[in-house]
Chain A
Amino acid sequence: QLQLQESGPGLVKPSETLSLTCTVSGGSISSSSYYWGWIRQPPGKGLEWIGSIYYSGSTYYNPSLKSRVTISVDTSKNQFSLKLSSVTAADTAVYYCARHEWELPPDYWGQGTLVTVSS
């Protein structure tokens, strides 16, 4: 059974960089069929796609966040990572990693991790 697990600091200071890693188990991140993405959900609000990466390193970002987002992949560790720079309180959210096929929404999700931006 495929499992995804987010990890990283739960508290980030304003103007700093948020960094999270998603570890994939029960399947290979190098599968040719799938993309690996990050989605966030501010407290009490809806879901927003941040961006996705293919195992080859090709990336796709939401234009609303593109200037601040970097997603990378480490196939040797079966992990992919998110960096979001210059964070503000508006970036406080539960961050989920997820798997999806091209032109399809996610099918598998991690449990999510709450990141709070505060001094």
Chain B
Amino acid sequence: QSVLTQPPSASGTPGQRVTISCSGSSSNIGSNYVYWYQQLPGTAPKLLIYRNNQRPSGVPDRFSGSKSGTSASLAISGLRSEDEADYYCAAWDDSLSGPVFGTGTKVTVL
């Protein structure tokens, strides 16, 4: 059961900027860090953004994250064909005492 709400789809042409939103509540995004994952078909989620806006080593700076209140966003600038994937947000939930995940957004490169 997904607690964080994302748009089901987003799209853009190569080179464009795409933004994905993630909406939660005071018990998760409102009081904890947001993470973002990229999931290519048939593979495990790959960490893209941690602690709201930090990129792990090897993740291009085309990917950026932000958080405000109980919502967060992932931006992909300079969209490339290899960015076509599913993207999930996640945050710790204080009520659950565990992580909760977003509903997922499928990004299509037109």
Check A46–B101 contact: CB distance below 8 A: yes
B residues less than 8 Å from A48 (CB atoms)? 1-2, 101
> Which one of A39, A64, A106, A111 has the highest number of Cβ atoms from chain B below 10 Å of its Cβ?
A106
Check B99–A105 contact: CB distance below 8 A: yes
At the interface with chain A, which of B14-22, B71-79, B84-92?
B84-92
Binary contact track B42-74/A, C-beta < 8 Å → 1, others 0: 011111001100001000000000000000000
A62-B98, A105-B90 given; A111·B44 CB < 8 A: yes
Q: Quick check: is A109 within 8 A (CB to CB) of the other chain?
A: yes
Total contacts A to B, CB within 8 angstroms?
Answer: 67
Q: Which of B16-40 contact A (CB under 8 A)?
A: 32-33, 35
Binary contact track A89-119/B, C-beta < 8 Å → 1, others 0: 0000000100010011111111110000000
Assembly CA distance A52 to B96 (angstroms)? 12
Check A49–B33 contact: CB distance below 8 A: no
Interchain CB contact (< 8 A) of A104 among B88, B92, B104: B92
Q: Give A97 Cβ to nearest chain B Cβ, in Å.
A: 10
Check B45–A47 contact: CB distance below 8 A: yes
Q: Quick check: is A60 within 8 A (CB to CB) of the other chain?
A: yes
Q: Give A96 Cβ to nearest chain B Cβ, in Å.
A: 6
A104-B92, A109-B44, A111-B43 given; A49·B98 CB < 8 A: yes
A residues less than 8 Å from B97 (CB atoms)? 60
B residues less than 8 Å from A100 (CB atoms)? 99
Q: Quick check: is B107 within 8 A (CB to CB) of the other chain?
A: no
A64-B1, A96-B44, A109-B44 given; A103·B101 CB < 8 A: no
Interchain CB contact (< 8 A) of B96 among A37, A63, A111: A63
> Which one of A49, A109, A111 has the highest number of Cβ atoms from chain B below 10 Å of its Cβ?
A49
B residues less than 8 Å from A104 (CB atoms)? 32-33, 35, 50-51, 92, 99
Residues of B participating in the A interface, judged by any CB pair closer than 8 Å: 1-2, 32-33, 35, 43-47, 50-51, 56, 88, 90-92, 96-104
Residues of A participating in the B interface, judged by any CB pair closer than 8 Å: 37, 39, 46-49, 51-52, 60, 62-64, 96, 100, 103-112
